[in-house]
Structure 1
Amino acid sequence: MNSPSSLPAPALDSQLCFALYSTSLAMMRVYRGLLPKLGLTYPQYLVMMVLWEQDALTVSDIGERLFLDSATLTPLLKRMESQGLVQRARARSDERQVIVTLTEQGQALRQEAAKLMPEILCATKCSVEEISALREQLVDLRKNLNDSAGM
């Protein structure tokens, strides 16, 4: 039986975690080249996508969708509010909750954002079907990992 110190170190390129990490970095580089057209960072873009799907959400609702806590989201939302993209207001029913809504400028940005999708698809060199299947596999993987971690 091998002792832990005699086992070979795992090869970096054979690790799923590294393939996911390095692919995520590559995707972020593509977005970093495209998002200045919208005046957004990638995390801001994610918040906007959530609000384009459903406006007037609480900070915690946005955080649940993006797997982010309110301590991470609050400074991001403050910057977005100063850019004129969103408005934040305390909920009337519970002042502990902050409701985030799109401004007209934030709503109008949706049309410009839609123009990025063909560029992203082109950068992947994958078909729509391949992207869809890969996305489904990744969603399943994320769910399994979150379940395993008790989340």
Structure 2
Amino acid sequence: MPDDIDDLLRLDRQVCFPLYAASNLLTRLYRPVLDKIGLTYLQYLVMLVLWEKAPQTVGSLGERLHLDSGTLTPLLKRMEAAELITRLRDPSDERRVLVTLTEKGRALREPASRVPATLARELALSSAELDALRDAVQGMVTALTVHRPVDDKPVSAGAL
């Protein structure tokens, strides 16, 4: 039995670690590219959502980006201070805050359009490989967003 436990606890058997490491390394790869347009990685993600459709509620941004309000609110405050966005109460429902782009925020869209190609070159993966990787990771995100109660049932060594 100890061999089974040892195998379960090997770092190279975990799904969480390569995802964590890849996320960390990918964020580092983005940093110098995004520095050139004056955005952090999280700010870039917010801008991507807003460039698709604005205005958005704070709640819808949080859902789309899988961020809680404790992370999102200070981020949006900094983006507002940098004059990239505005936050206003929804006139039809004062409980909701609408986030929209400023002219400065809209103007960043064009230079940001070069970010994906720059990163793709850095990763040296084909379009098909990038698509397959994105789809596989998106499948995992989808699976993780489905609420499942945690139990103590044993799982296989390669599960998580």
Structure 2 gap ranges (5+):
150-160
Identity percentage of aligned residues: 47
Give the alignment's Cα RMSD to 1 decimal: 1.7
SS of equivalent residue, structure 2 residue 83: coil
Structure 1 gap ranges (5+):
none
- The residue number in structure 2 matching 1:110 is 109
Q: CA deviation at 1:11?
A: 1.9
Q: How many residues align structurally?
A: 148
The one-letter code matched in structure 2 to 1:131 is: L
d(CA) in 2 for partners of 1:30, 1:42: 10
Question: Which stretches of structure 1, 4 residues or longer, exceed 3 Å deviation after superposition?
Answer: none
The answer to whether the aligner puts 1:73 opposite 2:49 as a matched pair is no
- The residue number in structure 2 matching 1:38 is 37
Q: CA deviation at 1:145?
A: 2.5
The one-letter code matched in structure 1 to 2:6 is: P
- The residue number in structure 2 matching 1:63 is 62
The one-letter code matched in structure 2 to 1:8 is: D
Distance 1:22 1:6, change over 3 A: closer
- The residue number in structure 2 matching 1:17 is 16
TM-score of the superposed pair, with normalisation by structure 2:
0.86
SS of equivalent residue, structure 1 residue 43: helix
The one-letter code matched in structure 2 to 1:84 is: E
d(CA) in 2 for partners of 1:6, 1:108: 56
The answer to whether the aligner puts 1:8 opposite 2:12 as a matched pair is no
d(CA) in 2 for partners of 1:138, 1:19: 12
The one-letter code matched in structure 1 to 2:97 is: V
SS of equivalent residue, structure 2 residue 108: helix
Q: CA deviation at 1:6?
A: 7.6
The one-letter code matched in structure 1 to 2:5 is: L
More helix by share: 1
Q: CA deviation at 1:38?
A: 1.2
Deviations 1:46-93 (A, max 9, x none): 000000000101000101100012222111111101111001100001
